[in-house]
Amino acid sequence: MQVYCILGDERVMRSKSPTIFSTVLKRIGLKGSYVPFKVDPDQIGSALQSIRVLNIAGASITIPFKEKVIPHLDVLSEGANIIGAINTIVRNGDILKGYNTNAIGFMDALSESGFDVEGKSALVFGTGGAAKAIVFILNWLRTTSIFVAGRNNDKTSEIVHRFGGETVSFDELADRTLSANIVVNTTSVSSPDESPEMKLLLDKISIKDCEMVVDLNYGRIENFWQDMARRIGVRFMDGLPSLAYQSRRTLALWTGIQVPPEEFIKALNEKH
């Protein structure tokens, strides 16, 4: 029996990934288990060594370790190396290889939704590993202009230098009108109790030409990204479709098996 896991901070215990993978593994007849592990930030290196020691076949990586794990890996896929963040680890013997399925999972979710970003403009909130994956894939999909918004000017500048686009600070957002056909939240906050400051900002900002708002988070009872989409009268998509599609890509890397995406969507929608 193969064992897989997901590594993150305390938020990993709320992840739907164990539900998705456990359900799909059972459905396709593979004997395996998928376990969440909360890891302290200063122990991430030891956690990756444990993957080798315990013969864990593969791991998912979530907030806040998508960039921090890279020095502890033996090799990166070409895409992960370009993006500078990983969310999937494949173990081959003692070799740990990092991949990024966040970017292509988001692409698959956009495609399924029928939204084509080619020739359009985007506003991306966040400066972490997820932001890097989203800005990368938006560029690859020929998005014409991309604004990257974050609190840390050095991090926003790093993303723009790596992939192109334009930085914009949160302070600037409150004072100017931006044209963005799609708004994507890659930060970890979506509800007023998580960040009253972000809610106030979203209440103030003015975005024209918007057609869709995407929040990579999910499971919030109150969601100010969804409220913003409703206020300006555009489509909203939370992070569950992206999670399903990136999980499909991750399982293929672990097992070589191409499972239809419908199985992952079904696993998400089932009550457990």
Annotated catalytic residues are: 66
**Structure-block tokens of residue 99:** 């991949």
Integer Cα distance of 180 and 207 in angstroms: 6
Tell me whether residue 169 is exposed, middle or buried, using C-beta atoms within 10 angstroms of its C-beta: 0 to 12, 13 to 18, 19 or more. middle
Listed in sequence order, the residues at least 6 apart from 74 whose beta carbon sits closer than 8 Å to its beta carbon are: 94, 95, 96, 97
Distance CA 272, CA 261 (A): 19
What proportions of the chain, in percent to the nearest 5, are helix, strand and coil? 45, 25, 35
Residue 157 is encoded by which pair of tokens?
């500048």
At how many degrees (to 10) do helices 261-269 and 240-255 cross? 130
CA distance 259 to 18: 17
CA distance 61 to 5: 9
Alpha-carbon span 47 to 204, nearest angstrom:
42
C-alpha–C-alpha distance, residues 172 and 236, integer Å: 24
Phi and psi angles of residue 246, each rounded to the nearest 5 degrees, phi first: -70, -30
